[in-house]
């Protein structure tokens, strides 16, 4: 069985994330969409909220499961018999950063990283941009699923 992981902070999950997860799901037996608990990032959503939105967003992909992890991704890969890490590249600057991480992960564990180029319609998209637009009441309907859009609106309404 070929099992891969699509890791991320998913704060929130965007249509760009779902595109990569779906494309990976068509090419592999199982995809784990893994929410990283990153202490270095200040998150808008809790891990439980991110898991909920990710499950709702991947409901139509039967070979995708959602999980969370702390610590090193390579440890998660070993514990879950993951053969490769799938990462998205939106730009050349993404490649520079992702290449370093991929090489470190391989050095630590032998786990390969597979790069997928972002769909051009999502190449500008990031969770931080979605949060910023949503925070000021902008339309994020084409950037996230309706459920995620609803959760964003509720989160920012609660802060006011």
Q: Tell me if 88 is assigned to a ligand binding site.
A: no
Closest C-alpha among 24, 34, 87, 109 to residue 61: 24
Q: Tell me if 72 is assigned to a ligand binding site.
A: no
The Cα–Cα gap between 2 and 28 comes to 6
Clarify whether 90 is annotated catalytic.
yes
The answer to whether 1 touches 29, Cβ cutoff 8 Å, is: yes
**3-state SS assignment for residue 16:** helix
Clarify whether 17 is annotated catalytic.
yes
Clarify whether 127 is annotated catalytic.
yes
Catalytic residue chosen out of the listed positions 2, 41, 59, 153: 41
The Cα–Cα gap between 137 and 130 comes to 11
Q: Tell me if 125 is assigned to a ligand binding site.
A: yes
Q: Tell me if 91 is assigned to a ligand binding site.
A: no
Q: Tell me if 9 is assigned to a ligand binding site.
A: yes
Clarify whether 41 is annotated catalytic.
yes
103's enclosing H/E stretch is: helix 92-109
Q: Tell me if 30 is assigned to a ligand binding site.
A: no
Catalytic residue chosen out of the listed positions 50, 57, 88, 127: 127
Q: Tell me if 76 is assigned to a ligand binding site.
A: no
Which residues participate in catalysis according to the annotation? 17, 41, 90, 127
Binding site for substrate: residue ranges? 9, 41, 73, 87
Binding site for ATP: residue ranges? 9-10, 17, 98, 122-128
């Amino acid at each position: 069985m070929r099992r891969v992981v699509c890791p991320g902070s998913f704060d929130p999950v965007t249509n760009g994330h779902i595109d990569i997860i779906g494309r990976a799901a068509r090419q592999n037996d199982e995809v784990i969409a893994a929410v990283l608990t990153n202490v270095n990032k200040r998150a808008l959503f809790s891990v439980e909220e991110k898991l909920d939105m990710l499950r709702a967003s991947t409901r139509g992909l039967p070979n995708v499961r959602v999980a969370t992890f702390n610590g090193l991704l390579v440890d998660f890969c070993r514990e879950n018999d993951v053969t490769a890490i799938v990462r998205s590249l939106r730009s050349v600057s993404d490649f520079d950063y992702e290449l370093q991480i991929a090489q470190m992960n391989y050095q630590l564990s032998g786990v390969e990283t597979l790069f997928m180029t972002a769909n051009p319609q999502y190449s500008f998209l990031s969770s931080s941009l979605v949060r910023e637009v949503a925070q000021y009441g902008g339309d994020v309907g084409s950037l996230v699923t309706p459920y995620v859009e609803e959760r964003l609106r509720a989160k920012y309404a609660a802060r006011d």
